[in-house]
Amino acid sequence: MSWNRRTFLRSLSTTALVLTLEDVLALASPFSPPGQMNNGQIGSRPTYNTQPRSAPKAPSPIAGTPLGVTFLDVAKQAGLNAKTIYGGEHKNKYLLETTGCGVAFYDFDHDDWIDIFLINGSRLEGFPKGQEPVSHLFKNNRDGTFTDITLQAGLARSGWGQGCCVGDYDNDGWDDLFVSYYGQNVLYRNNGNGTFTDVTAKAGLTQSKTRWNSGCAFLDYNRDGHLDLFVANYIDFDIKTAPLPEAAGCAYKGIQVACGPPGLEGGKNILYRNNGDGTFTDVSQKSGIWDTIGTYGLSVAVCDYDNDGWPDIYVANDSTAATLYQNQKDGTFKDVAIEAGVAYSPDGKPQAGMGVSIGDFNRDGLFDIVKTNFAGDTDSLYLNLGDGTFEDRTYLSGLGVNTRYLGWGVGFFDMDNDGWLDILISNGHVYPEVDGKAVDAPYAEHKYLYRNLRNGQFEEVTAQGGPGINALVPARGCAFGDYDNDGDIDVVVNCVNSLPQLLRCDSTTGRNWIKIRTVGTKSNRTGIGARISITTVTNGKPFVQIDEVRSGGSYYSQNDLRLHFGLDHATKADAVEIRWPSGTIDKLTNLDANHLYIIQEGGKILKTMSMGSGKTQ
């Protein structure tokens, strides 16, 4: 057996040797350059000597060609006029003021025009009664504009909002909304008439202590047809006892900043089992969710990474090892992040993970992972090898060229409908104090846009992405979906102490696409966990793409639940296969391009919509 970092780390999981995290890190990277990590003091993040390396040259027919798409910020003209309030605008006392909020593309009324839910935050000094910031629900008017219906929908809640996720927890045919908070989370039951009811207490989700809840996702981990709920937790934080920067000496590159997370007690992630009667039971401890090395959980992504038919959970952790909960198929999970190769950087160091997305970027039928990290480090790209392990392809893929900006929301998405997944990363510094200082990056930052070169590599095309990509904003959560139903993927971005962005994708490629919305019967009604494969045949050669219906993801956000597949110039999907969580497999053939298909478990097409015209059949 060849002896390298991965085989060493995997060996640790199969022996009785007990090592501290510091022991593991020291032993795992005997070749690490000096001065890579700070000393772990409060108020610092891990920093690395990550000099950009040139990706190996490989032929690509599209490298350097015109992009064919541009992104314009149309938030103002679309009516997204609600400013997100989150912490102090120029100085933060506590880490609580830095994380920001997520956003959802959420078709709450099932008219197949996705609406937008924007989470809001607060400030330490509070607000006069009746003037508190609240989250906002914007209804899609089907003409490129939105109307704020927050009050009539019953969603006007204030507080330190964090993340959101969507799923039909009670299988009544209407997708419900869960919002995580620093404090008490909220489960909103969708009443099906444009209104929501807070059922948190009734559902058994009231928490006995103040928690810093973060990313979330609905999933059917035990495949009983009812959606369970996973909620990551960041820090056990109490303002009354939290250290102040000036007292604790917390600094970033010589600038006094909020303390943490190193030096603060990490939070415990939570798994709630759906009882099938509208209530949940906390099974966090007995399911093994607490048995992990990593803590400081932020974003969550669910997928069946090992193709065994059971959903697994990946958590991006800040300043510690990431977590990969492998489903043991018996109601329990095991953290296999270290042996799987997705816990650390290529040189065996913990990273300050923020956002995460799942996708099959090289079209080999296996789900890969992209994760955003803190400034001074690269973002991470993990290639699924198909044997339960991943290989870090950050540098080989071309993502290692950028180390300056701090990534949050992220998504694999096919921006140009060529059938190959591209990547967008939303950036923004965590400390407003860096503005006006001689440091490496500003507080407001532009995004990164990477085009898939179809050969395992990505080309950074940020400069070609249009003004929506290059505008400097303090971004946090972002979500992906086709809000104007024109056949290309748009992006909504929640920003800190600023108006949101709505990045409309305008395409000149002329390529085709297909969308699928799932409706479960034996499986959960939303179809979360269903895996869809789309096959097109060109010149006798099959071209296969896969994706899964997911709740949660990116950074604290929810993407459109309708799965979108670019078809290039194919005029139909020759074969569509849906593997449902129940085990049912549906196969359909010859579905026309440029249509949305609502498919019920069992293979019945409930509705077809020609998206460009909005005409249903």
d(CA 510, CA 197): 43
Cβ atoms of 227 and 169 closer than 8 Å: yes
For residue 60, name the pLDDT band (cuts at 50, 70, 90): confident
DSSP states of 24-38 as a string? HHHHH-TTPPTT-S-
Q: What is the pLDDT of residues 513-541, one digit of tens each?
A: 999 999 999 999 999 999 999 999 988 89
pTM for the whole structure? 0.91
Q: Say yes or no to pLDDT of 44 above 70.
A: no
320-340 pLDDT, tens per residue? Answer: 999 999 999 999 999 999 999
DSSP H or E stretch at residue 395 = helix 394-397
**In Å, how far are 13, 254, 342, 360, 371 from 382, measured between CA atoms?**
20, 33, 7, 11, 8
Is the confidence at residue 28, as pLDDT, over 80? no
pLDDT digits (tens, 9 = 90+) for 129-177: 999 999 999 999 999 999 999 999 999 999 999 999 999 999 999 999 9
- pLDDT, position 439: 81
Lowest mean pLDDT among 9-18, 109-118, 371-380, 403-412: 9-18
Region of 126 on the Ramachandran plot (φ > 0 left; ψ -120 to 50 alpha; else beta): left
Handedness of CA 258, 261, 266, 272 (dihedral sign): positive
User: Is the pLDDT at 317 greater than 90, yes or no?
Assistant: yes
In the structure, what pLDDT confidence band is assigned to residue 21 with cuts at 50, 70 and 90?
A: very low
What pLDDT, on the 0 to 100 scale, is given for residue 204?
A: 98
386-423 pLDDT, tens digit per residue, is 999 999 999 999 999 999 999 999 999 999 999 999 99
Local confidence band at 58 (pLDDT 50, 70, 90 cut-offs): low
> What percent of the chain has pLDDT above 70?
89
One-letter amino acid of 455: N
Question: In this predicted model, what pLDDT tens digit does every residue of 442-458 receive, in sequence order?
Answer: 999 999 999 999 999 99
Q: What is the mean pLDDT of residues 185-197?
A: 98
Highest mean pLDDT among 290-299, 432-441, 605-614: 290-299
pLDDT at 10 over 60: no
Predicted local distance difference test score (pLDDT) of residue 513: 98
Task: List the one residue out of 185, 392, 155 whose CA is nearest residue 270.
Answer: 185
Q: What is the mean pLDDT of the chain?
A: 91
Instruction: Give the CA diameter of the chain.
Output: 69
In whole angstroms, give the CA distance from residue 582 to residue 236.
Answer: 37
- pLDDT at residue 165, rounded to an integer: 98
Residue 360 has pLDDT above 50, yes or no: yes
Domains of the chain: 84-239+253-507 (2.130.10.130), 513-610 (2.60.40)
